[in-house]
C-alpha cells in the first residue's frame, strides 16, 4: 500500500536489513509453498506497491495469517504483519471483498443475528449440511472450529439481570468485552467481573462496538473505521478521566492499542488517549500484583502431589502487546498449579484465517506444533489461552476443553466453576 504519511506502518520497511530471520520463523511459510514469507511480502513487496497501479502487484500476501511471529523476531523493528495487513486491505479495495470475508469480518453482526434465536442459529450454522453448503458457497472450511452462540443470553443480558449485585466503589475500571464475550462466551465476562470486583473495583461496561479487528484483517478498512470511531466516542471520555480500560480479548485490546491507529493511520488525540488507557486484563492484574494490590486469597486448584496440570498457550497478539506473558505471571501466584508453557509459534487459526477453505489445512499444519505440545503433556483436563479463536482452534486440534486464564483465576478465588463455566 501507498505510504500515506511518515507514520504509516509501510515506512518501517526502511528498517529492514534483509537478514531473513523473519522468514525462517514464519510458521505459515514453513508449511506452505503458497506463501514466500514475511520478508518477501512485507518490506520487500512493499517497495513495489503504490496506489492506483494498473493491477495489484501481489496476491500471495493474503496467505499471511497475521500471527506476528515475524514482528517479534525481527531485529530491526519492521512492522511486517501490519504492512501485510495494509496490503491485504489495498487488495480488497482493488478486487472487492468476497462475501465470506465480509461475513467473517462482521463478528458483531453475526453475533447479534444469532443471538435472537441462538439454538436455531447454532443448528443452522453447525449442522453438517449447512457446513458443506458454507464451504461450497462461501469457502468457509467445513471442519473449521466455528463458535456457538450463547444459549443463556448475551453478556449484556447477564449484566442487566445482575445489575443489583454489582459492586460500587471509588476504584473504577472500564471493561471492554468484545464480540466473542458478548455473544458466544458471556461467562468469560462474568469471570472477569468477578475477579475485578473481588479486588475491589467497580466495573463499568459502556456500550461498545466490535473493535474492528476482523474487518481490518479481512481488508475492510472503511467499515473498520466506523467501528473504531464508535468506540472512540464511547471510551475516550473514560480514558481522559484516567480510568483504565481492560479487556479479556487480547485481540480487541490490541486493536484499541495499536492495530486501529496503525493500520488506519490514525494518530488523533482521542485515538491516542484510548490507546494509552487500554490494557490486557492480565497485563493490568500483573501490575496490581507487582504493587501488592492483587488479592492472593487463593484456594489451591491442586495439591503438591497432584498439581493442577495446565498447558498454556500465549496467543499471537501478546507479541504485539509487547508485555511478555502476563497471564503466566499471574497464574504462577496460584498454589497447586503446574502451568506448562507452550513455545509453539501459533495455533494456526490466527483470527479468521483458519476458517477459510484454502487456509484450513495450513492452519492445522501450523497448529500441529501446539497440538503436539499438548499431547506431550500427558492426560490433561483442559488447556488455557487468552484468545477466543485460539481456544476454539486448540479444542478443535486437541479435543480437550480450553479455558481463558481469567476463568482459572476466578476459579482460584472460588468465584467460578471451571467445569460448568459459570460464576458461583
Partner 1 sequence: MIIAYALRNTHHPPVIHQREKITMISPSLSTEILVIGGGATGTGVAWDAALRGFATILVEKRDLTHGTTGRYHGLLHSGGRYVVKDPHSAVECIAENRILRRTHTHCIEDTSGFFVVTPEDEGDYPDRFLAACAETGVPCKEISVAQALRREPLLNPRISRVFEVPDGAADSFLATHATAQAARQAGARILTYHQVVGLLMDGGEGDKRVTGAVVRDTVSDETIHIRADLVINASGAWAGQIAQMAGVGVKIIPGKGVMVATNHRLVNTVINRCKMPSDGDILVPVHTVSIIGTTDEKVADPENLVITPGEVQFMLAEGDKLVPGLSRARIVRAWAGVRPLYQEGFSGDSRDATRSLTLLDHKARDGVRGFLTITGGKWTTFRMMAEKTIDRACEHLGVERACTTASTPVPGIEQGHYWLGHRLHEVEAEALQGGLVCECELVTRQMVESAARRNPTVTLDDLRRDVRLGMGPCQGGFCTYRAVGILHEIGRERHDPDFVLEGEADAEEWEVAYLQSPAQSSKGQSITAHATPGATTESALPTRSPAIDRRSPVSNPNLLLRDFLQERWKGVLPVLWGRQLKQERLDELIYLSLMNADHLPDAAAQSPMTGFYRGGDGEKKIVNGE
Which residues, 6 or more positions from 51, have their beta carbon under 8 angstroms from its beta carbon?
A: 1, 2, 90
Rounded to whole angstroms, the Cα distance separating 412 from 298 reads 5
Binding track over 71-100 against partner 1, x by CB under 8 A = -----x------------------------
399: number of Cβ within 10 Å: 9
Binding track over 57-76 against partner 1, x by CB under 8 A = xxxx---------------x
Our measurement of the distance from residue 148's CA atom to the centroid of its chain's CA atoms, rounded to an integer in Å, reads 17
Q: Smallest distance from the beta carbon of 21 to partner 1, in angstroms?
A: 11
* Helix (H) / strand (E) containing 384: strand 383-385
Among positions 8, 84, 90, 248, the unique one binding ligand SF4 when judged by CB under 6 A? 84
Grid cell, residue 82, equals 501490519
> Which is nearest to 87 in space by CA: 18, 3, 30, 16?
3
Our measurement of the distance from residue 145's CA atom to the centroid of its chain's CA atoms, rounded to an integer in Å, reads 15
- By beta-carbon proximity to partner 1, the closer residue of 6 and 116 is 6
Grid cell, residue 38, equals 514475511
Q: Does 43 bind ligand SF4 (CB under 6 A)?
A: yes
| Phi, psi (degrees; rounded to nearest 5) at 338 | -125, 90
* Helix (H) / strand (E) containing 385: strand 383-385
Among positions 45, 67, 104, 245, the unique one binding ligand SF4 when judged by CB under 6 A? 67
| Phi, psi (degrees; rounded to nearest 5) at 173 | -140, 140
Q: Does 26 bind ligand SF4 (CB under 6 A)?
A: yes
Q: Does 302 bind partner 1 (CB under 8 A)?
A: no
Select from partner 1, ligand SF4, none the partner in contact with residue 56, using the beta carbon and a kind-dependent cut-off of 5 to 8 Å: partner 1
Q: Does 65 bind ligand SF4 (CB under 6 A)?
A: yes
Q: Does 292 bind partner 1 (CB under 8 A)?
A: no
> By CB under 6 A, how many residues form the interface with ligand SF4?
27
Residue 339: strand pairing partners = 310
Q: Does 68 bind ligand SF4 (CB under 6 A)?
A: yes
Select from partner 1, ligand SF4, none the partner in contact with residue 53, using the beta carbon and a kind-dependent cut-off of 5 to 8 Å: partner 1
Q: Smallest distance from the beta carbon of 179 to ligand SF4, in angstroms?
A: 22
Task: Compute the C-alpha angle 350/356/360, nearest 5°.
Answer: 70
- By beta-carbon proximity to partner 1, the closer residue of 78 and 195 is 78
Span of 1-9, 161-169, 182-190, 211-219 interacting with partner 1 by CB under 8 A: 1-9
What is the DSSP track for 253-311? HHIIIIIHHHHTT---HHHHHHHHHEEEHHHHHHHHHHTT-S---PPPSS-SSS-EEEE
Residue matched to cell numbers 472450529: 145
Q: Does 3 bind partner 1 (CB under 8 A)?
A: yes
Judged by CB under 8 A, the chain residues 10 through 49 that form the site for partner 1 are 13-20, 33, 36, 39-40, 43-49
Rounded to whole angstroms, the Cα distance separating 180 from 111 reads 8
- By beta-carbon proximity to partner 1, the closer residue of 75 and 200 is 75
Q: Smallest distance from the beta carbon of 99 to partner 1, in angstroms?
A: 24
Contact footprint for partner 1 (CB under 8 A)? 2-6, 13-20, 33, 36, 39-40, 43-60, 76
Contact footprint for ligand SF4 (CB under 6 A)? 16-22, 26, 28-29, 38-39, 42-43, 64-70, 74, 76, 78, 80-81, 84
Amino acid at each position: 500500500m501507498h505510504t500515506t504519511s511518515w507514520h504509516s506502518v509501510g515506512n518501517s520497511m526502511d528498517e529492514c536489513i534483509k537478514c531473513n530471520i523473519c522468514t525462517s520463523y514464519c510458521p505459515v511459510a514453513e508449511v506452505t509453498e503458497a506463501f514466500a514469507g514475511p520478508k518477501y511480502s512485507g518490506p520487500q513487496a512493499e517497495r513495489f506497491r503504490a496506489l492506483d497501479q494498473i493491477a495489484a502487484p501481489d496476491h500471495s500476501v493474503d496467505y499471511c495469517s497475521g500471527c506476528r511471529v515475524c514482528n517479534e523476531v525481527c531485529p530491526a523493528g519492521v512492522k511486517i504483519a501490519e504492512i501485510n495487513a495494509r496490503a491485504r486491505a489495498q487488495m480488497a479495495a482493488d478486487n472487492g471483498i468476497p462475501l465470506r470475508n465480509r461475513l467473517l469480518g462482521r463478528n458483531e453482526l453475526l453475533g447479534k443475528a444469532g443471538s435472537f434465536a441462538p439454538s436455531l442459529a447454532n443448528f443452522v450454522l453447525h449442522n453438517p449440511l449447512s457446513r458443506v453448503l458454507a464451504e461450497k458457497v462461501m469457502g468457509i472450511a467445513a471442519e473449521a472450529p466455528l463458535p456457538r452462540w450463547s444459549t443463556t443470553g448475551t453478556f449484556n443480558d447477564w449484566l442487566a439481570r445482575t445489575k443489583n449485585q454489582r459492586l460500587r466503589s471509588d476504584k473504577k475500571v472500564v471493561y471492554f468485552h468484545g464480540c466473542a464475550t458478548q455473544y458466544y462466551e458471556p461467562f468469560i465476562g462474568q469471570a472477569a467481573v468477578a475477579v475485578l470486583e473481588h479486588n475491589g473495583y467497580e466495573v463499568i461496561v459502556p456500550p461498545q462496538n466490535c473493535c474492528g479487528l476482523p474487518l481490518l484483517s479481512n481488508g475492510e478498512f472503511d467499515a473498520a473505521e466506523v467501528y473504531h470511531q464508535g468506540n472512540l466516542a464511547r471510551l475516550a471520555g473514560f480514558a481522559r478521566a484516567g480510568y483504565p480500560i481492560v479487556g479479556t480479548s487480547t485481540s480487541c485490546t490490541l486493536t484499541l492499542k495499536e492495530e486501529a491507529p496503525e493500520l488506519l493511520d490514525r494518530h488523533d488525540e482521542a485515538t491516542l488517549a484510548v490507546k494509552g488507557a487500554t490494557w490486557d486484563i492480565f497485563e493490568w492484574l500483573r501490575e496490581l500484583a507487582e504493587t501488592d494490590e492483587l488479592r492472593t486469597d487463593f484456594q489451591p486448584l491442586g495439591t503438591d502431589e497432584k498439581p493442577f496440570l495446565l498447558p498454556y498457550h500465549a496467543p499471537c497478539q501478546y507479541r504485539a502487546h509487547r508485555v511478555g506473558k502476563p497471564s503466566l505471571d499471574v497464574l504462577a501466584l496460584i498454589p497447586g498449579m503446574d502451568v506448562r508453557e507452550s513455545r509453539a509459534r501459533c495455533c494456526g487459526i490466527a483470527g479468521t484465517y483458519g476458517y477459510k477453505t484454502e487456509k484450513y489445512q495450513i492452519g492445522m499444519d501450523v497448529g500441529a506444533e501446539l497440538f503436539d505440545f499438548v499431547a506431550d503433556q500427558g492426560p490433561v483436563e483442559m488447556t488455557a489461552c487468552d484468545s477466543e479463536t485460539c481456544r476454539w482452534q486448540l479444542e478443535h486440534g486437541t479435543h480437550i476443553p480450553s479455558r481463558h486464564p481469567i476463568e482459572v483465576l476466578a476459579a482460584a478465588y472460588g468465584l467460578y466453576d471451571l467445569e460448568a463455566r459459570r460464576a458461583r
